[in-house]
Amino acid sequence: MKALHDKIAKEGLVVSDQILKVDSFINHQVDPEFIMEIGQAFANHFGGQNITKVVTIEASGIHLAFATALKLGVPFVYAKKKKALTQTGGVYSAPVYSFTRQESYHLTVSKDYLSAEDRILVIDDFLATGVALRGLRDIILQAGATLVGVGIVIEKSFQPGRKELEAEGVQIHSLARIQSMSEDGILYVSDEATL
């Protein structure tokens, strides 16, 4: 997605060869108009596949899922990293180890909001190791729902997330795919321009 590449070039900051900081427009301060463009890009790609619900993970996926769900005309659900007091009914749950936070947590979704009839589009900001997304996939399977695809804003293609999810049959659409990065710049996966 050219607008995303341009925005990363203008505002992104390569902190290390592993960490790209995009918190001026995606995951701390947010540019709502730009996020609506991202939602439109996901809606364009997945729009013909009878999506009934968008699912993401709190907190940094919420506005991305919101924009996509608004464009698709469906509700969205955000998986929680802790069980809330108001989750009084049963939940689907999956354990996840966060490399970023260096801690384990349980993703949960109330059983009320996923059903076997649902056709799910998962949206998230980053794909790196893919462990959180694999947890979310487990939850969707527990509900008997169909995981139609995964939409990612920025993929770290040098990490194993895409490969491992694809090995499980998951269709992934990433708006930017980073091959490698350093203080000299960012190299995108070569077929990126065609996405």
**Residues sharing a CB contact under 8 Å with residue 81, sequence separation 6 or more, in sequence order:** 57, 58, 105, 106, 107
Question: Hey, which residues does 21 pair with through a beta bridge?
Answer: 13
Nearer to its own copies, 87 or 179 (CB): 87
CB of 191 to its own copies, least distance (A): 28
| Chain residues that interact with its own copies, rule: CB under 8 A | 15, 19, 21, 23-25, 27-33, 35-36, 58-59, 62-63, 66-67, 69-70, 73, 75-78, 80, 82, 84-88, 100-101, 109-110, 112-113
Q: Is the Cβ of residue 29 or residue 49 nearer to its own copies in the bound state?
A: 29
Residue among 139, 20, 31 at smallest CA distance from 12: 20
Closest approach of its own copies to the CB of residue 169, in Å: 26
User: Closest approach of Cβ 34 to its own copies, in Å?
Assistant: 9
Total Cβ atoms within 10 A of residue 83: 12
Q: How many other CB atoms are there within 10 angstroms of residue 21's CB atom? A: 14
Beta carbon nearer to its own copies, 110 or 174:
110
| Three-class SS state of 23 | coil
| Cβ proximity to its own copies, 36 vs 187, nearer residue | 36
Least distance (Å) between residue 195 CB and its own copies: 25
CA distance 193 to 190: 7
Q: Which is nearer to its own copies, 50 or 163 (CB)?
A: 50
In angstroms, give the least distance from the CB of 167 to its own copies: 28
Q: Is the backbone of residue 139 left (phi > 0), alpha (psi -120 to 50) or beta?
A: alpha
